[in-house]
Chain A
Amino acid sequence: MIRLCTTVVLAILAATTAARAVDVEIVFLSRDQEERLPLSFVDPIVEDPGVWGARLALDDNKTTGGFLGHTYSLVERVLAADEDIAAVFEEERQSGRTLFISDLPRDDLQAIAEHPEASEALIFNGRVGDDDLRINVCFDNVFHTAPSRSMRTDALVQFLVWKRWPRLYLVSGTQENDVAFADAIRRSAEKFGAQVVAESDYAYSAISRRTDSGHIQIQDQMPLATQEGGEYDVLVVADENEVFGEYLPYNTYAARPVAGTHGLVAMSWHRVLEQWGSTQIQRRFEQVADRWMEERDYGAWLGVRSIGEAVTRLNSADAAEMRAFLRSPDFEIGGFKGVGLSYRSWDQQMRQPVLIANKRVLVSASPQPGFLHERTPLDSLGYDEPESECRLQ
């Protein structure tokens, strides 16, 4: 890969006429965290999430930059569990770096967005989907390439409504993010004419994924936990922490499909996607990273590519100029989803189709046919301008 890039640069520099040298340094920020293991053994334990997406996009930017005299480099800062994010961010800002890809968890992201040094920086959030960051905790300098939680639930509920399966039985975990997912489902149901006809909580503590004869208990417990659904079409599970959702399909009390955080899921990226030219990026990614591309990789890829596209078109890496361009109607990038992706001006959320997939194949992609919007059908996903307090200028 590296050898190839060098060849390209040499071949092209000779032919470039209007090159203005631009040197672009991008900082990738993440934190080393103990992630909970997936319940299913066929789900890979992802090594180095996020950073490989940034590295791949950097290669893509370098190839394009080679034709224009633009160079790109990536500074990778992966923090230890107890390291202070503010100090690391400040250090990078003191070195004059302004472009940041954030693969950080929520609190860290907010810490750098609120940092006094952030005012002349651009931060691309490729990971956190919290809706409040799109409706009332608004940052001028943050662009969200990760879809919001409500974009996911809107995408999923649109599909269920399109299927004419509108009666939802909501079964939620009790942790904070499960509650947020359940809230988003209720909102999506109301928005698109579905109904949450019954609700249950699942409050059992996390169990080990590996137990002898574990299925016997699960086979008994899951029907018990799901018998309050009454007449419904789809069980929607809210389990963002991978505690029980995986055990629901085929173990529900009623013979109904499972969707939500498990079963049929709404994703920004998934290995099952092979449409819209994504074969190429899936292959390129696996060649360099030796694993599948995951959502956090895709979020980081979109951030680095947004920077690359802005530099290519502007011939400049000035943060203020780039911010204005990224927010303008002139900006769009291809993200292997069949339409151009752009940023909403009020909350700087990237508009994007959301994949509807099970573990083995792509089932659909939202927005669904018939869900219209005055600007673009993509804005039928997530909080729309009138529903958000963010008015970024």
Chain B
Amino acid sequence: MLEVTGLRVAYGGIQAVRGINFHVNQGEMVALIGANGAGKTSTLKALARLLNAAGGSVRYCGKEILNLPPHQLVSAGIALVPEGRGVFPRMSIVENLQMGAYSRRDNDGIEADKEHVFSLFPRLKERAFQLAGTLSGGEQQMLAIGRALMSRPKLLLLDEPSMGLAPLMVQKIFEVICAVAKEGMTVLLIEQNAKLALEVSQRGYVMESGEITLTGESGALLEDPKVRAAYLGE
């Protein structure tokens, strides 16, 4: 479904991503793990067209997307939950969800999906008309995921959904991510929390200093001595 080949991202002269290859199959949850500064977020931003790639190609459903303007990705079926949530703080929860469905015109479907998001995150329903800026970090993460689902994506890109959250909240968020994946969503998950990411995904890629150094089944990566030493603190 997603085929990344030779992707490079550079900030001025500094290469953050040095020609990486990976792919995500339909219906799969794939984890991209690595330490802070390994180039994970740069990779995702390039996929979402928030950054211009310095080279390489990204094919989604067989079509090159690196030349699409950023606002057309969502109608193509790609939704990103950005690092740091990126909710609209001065808009209510309902309005944030409506923004998620901006690319759609089917009002009945939008209404139904809103109820679906509320059933996934009952906390959001209780606060439906509260401004998003007044929510806790975990609630904002719920909202950011809910908002991404509102576009009915085929491919969900998650950037560090566990970042800065209490363990209990992380658990809740990941329960929902797994539930969404079970419904058939294709997910690319970027995480610093390698253990968590490899536990929920089918396959994983390990990124170091802008390159992919290891790849395989998530279960196998969890057992890999190098991964255990570098990311699982053993």
The answer to whether A and B come from one shared complex is no
